[in-house]
Amino acid sequence: MTAIPWDSRLRYHCQLRQSTSERRADTHPLTWRLREDGARVGLGEYREKEGYQAAIRTLETFTPGDVIGTMKEANVRGRGGGGFSAGLKWSLTQVGDHLPRGYLICNADEMEPGTFKDRLLLEQQPHLLIEGMIIAGFANRSCYGYIFLRGEYVEAARSLALAIEEARKAGLLGRDIAGSGFDFDLALHTGAGRYICGEETALINSLEGKRANPRAKPPFPGQSGAWGKPTVVNNVETLCNAPGVMLHGAGWYQGLSGGLSEDGGTKLYGVSGLVQRPGLWELPIGTSGREILDRAGGMRDGHTLKAWLPGGGSTGFLLSEHLDIPMDFDTIGQYGSRLGTGLIAVVSERQSIVSLLRNLEQFFARESCGWCTPCRDGLPWTVKLLQALERGEGKPGDIELLEQHAHDLGPGLTFCAHAPGAAMPLESAIRHFRAEFEAGIAHSTLEGVS
């Protein structure tokens, strides 16, 4: 059997599994414009489908404070994994009239294992992101915007570069956008593909040409970010929500969840792993994991669900008994995990949790910037312990040592959130599947132990 190239396999997963008849402008603000054939939506087609109406209306009618207030009222929360209020983040650049105009940065790095939602928007609908950045740039008094793109996303880079040029020629970027008096332009920056750039200050350092290490806070980017100017960093999906909110209002956006969650809007959910139809769906935020899994056709024949990660490799394992809980930020947190990026990775009963976890922790150890000791030294040590258990050569006390590592790498004990993200699947895997870890302890080491 011929192996599927990595890029082709990811593209297969990246498919939107909803037909055009299922997606409407009033219910699917992120995907209703997408073409059935997956081709890029150009400027002409985008403008025929309400494109740039929200940006022009915002520039002509609203003040930056109006935009921030609307985003707060709509309760748009960050779709990159943190779930922080976008409106609140934007308001931080308004603290003090003395602050100079700064920068808006779109985090399009998408390095979270098992995540591919932003790629869909970047490749197929780049003008939605550009419009969202115009609105966010206006709200934040930004003079310039950067799209920080994962270097491997070659097709996304082509799509974005073409869209930026189209928008610039149409007078939608640059000086005096649409005659509004607002000046704002964009640049596309491709990064080297470092997971740590998901941390906003590490991303800013990388953009400035420095090593991608997180910065000490305060000062926060809203006051002193890129090149010492006020800076806002938002995820692709977060920014793509802004046009719908500003065109139709906060109440409309809140209603999209259909009462499933106190959070507003829809969410790009996805499934990967041993399911019948891996892919993406735009659904009301708060949709249950079971419905998302059902849309993926369930597990492949011969496989049953053992566990699932709700939103990427840095979230905690959940079990089949958790499938009916709403997939929103606060509810998932009550069950010891995080919504993260909202892309489910399923684990089959045939898969070893220890091996899967070892693979994840190797990734996190490799991607550590090495800035603080718990992360730099603790993650490789965790990998060595897991490798021993995987080979059946573990020693008594190894599981307890892993639990201690999970604690020592937790929130508030490291310089940034990289290590706590790595600790969450570790802690939850031991909690739910301790017997599999115990099975990795060598029998010879147990002889004679009372």
Supply the pLDDT for residue 72.
Answer: 96
Q: What is the tens place of the pLDDT at every residue in 56-84?
A: 999 999 999 999 999 999 999 999 988 99
Q: Could you say which of 3.40.50.970, 3.30.420.40, 1.20.1440.230, 3.40.50.1100 is the CATH number of the domain covering 353-443?
A: 1.20.1440.230
- Give the CA dihedral 328, 332, 334, 340, nearest 10 degrees: -100
Lowest mean pLDDT among 176-185, 191-200, 308-317: 191-200
pLDDT in the model for residue 100: 77
Task: Please give the CATH topology (third level) of the domain spanning 266-348.
Answer: Ubiquitin-like (UB roll) (3.10.20)
* pTM of structure: 0.93
Taking the C-alpha atoms of residue 161 and residue 12, their distance in angstroms, rounded to an integer, is: 23
Give the model's pLDDT for residue 82. 87
Q: How far apart are CA 96 and CA 92, in angstroms?
A: 9
Whether 323 and 289 have beta carbons less than 8 Å apart is answered as yes
Instruction: Determine the Cα–Cα distance for residues 156 and 81; give it in Å rounded to an integer.
Output: 21
| pLDDT one-digit tens code per residue, 235-279 | 999 999 999 999 999 999 999 999 999 899 999 999 999 999 999
23-255: CATH, from 3.40.50.11540, 1.10.287.3510, 3.10.620.30, 3.50.50.60: 3.40.50.11540
Model confidence at 1: pLDDT above 50: no
The 10 Å Cβ neighbour count of residue 101 is 15
The reported pLDDT for the residue numbered 431 is: 97
* Residue ranges of domains in the chain: 23-255, 266-348, 353-443
pLDDT at residue 5 in the model = 38
* pLDDT confidence band for 6 (50 / 70 / 90): very low
pLDDT at residue 193, rounded to an integer: 76
Put the strands of the sheet holding 185-191 in their side by side order. 185-191, 142-150, 102-108, 231-235
